[in-house]
Amino acid sequence: MSVRRSLVVGTVGLAALLATQSTALATPPGGVPPGQAKKHVEVSADAPLRDLGSAIGLRIGTAVNTGLLGEDPAYTDIVNTQFNSVTPENAMKWESVEPTKGTYTWADADELVKSAQRNGQLVRAHTLVWHSQLPQWLSKDTGATTTFSDQQVKDIVKKHIKDEAGRYKGRVWSWDVVNEAFNDDGTPRQSIFYKAWGNSTDYIADAFRWAHEADPKAELFYNDYNIEYTGPKSIAVYDLVEKLKAQHVPIDGVGFQTHLSTQYGFPNLQETMQKFADLGLDVAETEVDVRTAVEAVDPATDPATYTATPVDGLHQSTQEAYWDQTMKACLFVQRCVSYTVWGVADSNSWIPGVFPGEGAALLYDDALQPKRQYTVVQQDLALAAGAAPRRAGAGGR
Ligand code: G3I
């Protein structure tokens, strides 16, 4: 770990630049992590990420595998000491909470929420309306078709949102209300939701209204991938949320998943997030990971020997640069209220199973040791000490 040095908030680094970007912000409905945003707080430059984030009001989160939380001591220790926000990687998805129609299985999600309360963490809840990981009784082909009528789908979606967001009312700070509603070419995804609402994206406004009714203080996000750069999908989402704001639909923010790969150029992330923020919305990086070509064995086929090592130093240093840029993009956008990594360690990342030959995408290696990427992110946060505190708000509503 780097040499320990003490920073007095208000004196160094990115702070001066960031301070000029201060804007008046609303009081957070979901509360703020303990100990954050106090003036003259001393934060060590090698403090845990959550402490460095708290000093500037930035939620530092991770996706959590509820099968490991509380079971794997080293994993659990990292989740609770390094992060002040947690997102259930799968436990709050529809197929997880209602595998049989009308029979709820809340145990894993409940456990995560209780753990967060015990550890002074906020819950970034994920996700209410998504075409993927739907229960089999609702759709057998990732949300393309269903045996229910249009009116039945509408009733089912409303009940699902009311039941799940209602269950966690007041106990989560935000919800990804609608996830991934657009294709990469900017056309609306032809999901069972789109079809049930008469081939229209009007289901999105209804979902936000129902979520708001169920949990009026939760901060409500639209969340998607490949919207980090200017392109048809990002433009389509921008047009959507601009329209929702004009219609006074209770949307508070947009989540940029930020699944990056070193084989592509770094997106104009800061500029894009600022454009959305200028609509009067909070923004967040919600699922950050940076994958690269690795000398790896697929953990699914050979977990014992899994090692995710970048193929060479150039790939490693590019990963570090990308992590640096994801954090700086958030720090330079005052309305970027949370930064969440999509998993703790390379050995529990979704990447190797979906992108064969790629991996090493997270901050900790498969032995749960912090990588250089961790230090890069930590140093950026330390340099931002003293910046005007950011606070998640009600998105202007
Ligand atoms: O729970 C079952 C288990 O019972 C079964 O034995 C096993 C066999 O494959 O599958 C298990 O379910 C898996 C589930 O994760 C829980 O581990 C699914 O197969 C697997 O597909 C699922 O993957 C998740 C993926 O979403 C589904 O699309 C990943 O863990 C999760 O990281 C990923 O997260 C998504 C975000 O929610 C939205 N944005 C993209 C991101 C990455 O795909």
Per-residue pLDDT of the chain (397 residues; tens, 9 = 90+): 333 333 333 334 565 555 544 332 222 333 444 444 445 567 899 999 999 999 999 999 999 999 999 999 999 999 999 999 999 999 999 999 999 999 999 999 999 999 999 999 999 999 999 999 999 999 999 999 999 999 999 999 999 999 999 999 999 999 999 999 999 999 999 999 999 999 999 999 999 999 999 999 999 999 999 999 999 999 999 999 999 999 999 999 999 999 999 999 999 999 999 999 999 999 999 999 999 999 856 556 655 555 678 888 999 999 999 999 999 999 999 999 999 999 999 989 999 889 988 999 999 998 999 999 999 999 999 999 988 899 866 444 3
Are the C-beta atoms of 18 and 384 separated by less than 8 Å? yes
Distance of CA 55 to the CA centre of its chain: 20
Residue nearest to atom 2 of ligand 1 (CA): 96
Task: List, chain by chain if needed, residues with CB within 6 Å of any ligand 1 atom.
Answer: 89-90, 132-133, 179, 225, 257, 287, 350
Most informative mutation of 92, 126, 350 for ligand 1 (most atoms within 8 A of CB): 350
Residue nearest to atom 12 of ligand 1 (CA): 90
- pLDDT on residue 28: 33
- pLDDT on residue 308: 75
- Determine the distance separating the centroid of ligand 1 and the alpha carbon of 132, expressed in angstroms: 10
- Determine the distance separating the centroid of ligand 1 and the alpha carbon of 89, expressed in angstroms: 8
- pLDDT on residue 293: 92
Residue nearest to atom 29 of ligand 1 (CA): 350
219 is an active site residue: no
Phi/psi region, residue 154 (left: phi>0; alpha: psi -120 to 50; beta: rest), is: alpha
Instruction: Identify whether 258 is preceded by a cis peptide bond (ω within 30 of 0).
Output: no
- pLDDT on residue 136: 98
Catalytic residue, candidates 98, 287, 320, 358: 287
Count the Cβ atoms, other than its own, within 10 Å of residue 307: 16
Tell me the residue type at 361: A
- Determine the distance separating the centroid of ligand 1 and the alpha carbon of 239, expressed in angstroms: 30
- Determine the distance separating the centroid of ligand 1 and the alpha carbon of 353, expressed in angstroms: 10
228 is an active site residue: no
The whole-angstrom separation of Cα 281 and Cα 219 is 11
Q: Tell which atom from ligand 1 comes closest to the C-alpha of 126.
A: 37
Rounded to two decimals, the pTM is 0.91
Most informative mutation of 64, 87, 89 for ligand 1 (most atoms within 8 A of CB): 89
Q: Tell which atom from ligand 1 comes closest to the C-alpha of 225.
A: 39
- pLDDT on residue 309: 86
Q: Tell which atom from ligand 1 comes closest to the C-alpha of 342.
A: 32
Catalytic residue, candidates 98, 164, 180, 285: 180
Task: Tell me the two tokens of residue 34.
Answer: 């303990």
- pLDDT on residue 26: 27
- Determine the distance separating the centroid of ligand 1 and the alpha carbon of 90, expressed in angstroms: 6
Q: Tell which atom from ligand 1 comes closest to the C-alpha of 349.
A: 32
